[in-house]
Structure 1
Amino acid sequence: MSIEVGSKVQGKVTGITNFGAFVELPGGTTGLVHISEVADSYVKDVNDHLKVGDQVEVKVISEKDGKTALSIKKAIDKPEGQTSSYSQRPQRQGRDNRQSKDFRSKGGNFKPKENFEDKMAKFLKASEENLSSLKRNTETKRGGRGGRRG
């Protein structure tokens, strides 16, 4: 009996590894529930959630080359509007909603019709200004022309 992708079936946990659990499905086939598909919350150790011999309801995610991928968290029916606990995390502390520094997506001061020559001219002008101010500052610190007096 072939199991269809997207169907929910009952299975028995036959083995547990550090990356998931193997579940025996009706018809004698075995599938893997990856550690990320065991529960809606973070799973550090599969043994905290499952034991060998447990009966679980799983959803068939994919079947390729005789390997069946299963999910326990997708087999659980959630009420509409409720999402996984990952998306319900609070926003990180210390972050405010700063504006993006990417001027391409917003109107900003970005001129989309600026050609390469204009950009190059701006760059050269800014570069010359930066070099002259840098030169002026380093000369005064070293003593510049004429050296120290007295």
Structure 2
Amino acid sequence: MTVTQPSSTTGTPAPPAAAEFHAFSGSDDALARHLFALPRDVVERTLWALLLQSHDGAGILVQERAEPGDSVARVQSWTGEDLGSLPARLLALLPAASHQELRTSLLGHGDYVDLGIVLCPPTPRGAFGHPLKLHTGSGVRAYVVAR
């Protein structure tokens, strides 16, 4: 599932939505194919988050650039038993959610570990590959939100 702005009625596509939400479920291999196929601009956004849920538990990785186009960003992570209603709460905010609304909703979910300022991964594979390795087997759910 992907949430974006609908096309205009004149037949010309609308500009990309300010915020995007992508949801996938299946095996870790299937999720890798879906996540790595996302457009590069998803990880070039000022704020993006990867939410994962599986029998191994739940995890969230949030990357936030100070300014659009920065080559470095602050990364924070959360791990726990369950994402709870967070994906539904994020989806309810879209597609018009502001950067601050998404940030507040994400970081209000629990106690995050600040991983510091890191180089921004240039591709979805670079951004999502390592966290996905922590969730194996079938029945994995992945959500990506970007603004």
TM-score normalized with structure 1 length: 0.19
Richer in strand (by share): 2
Richer in helix (by share): 2
TM-score normalized with structure 2 length: 0.19
Which has the larger Rg?
A: 1
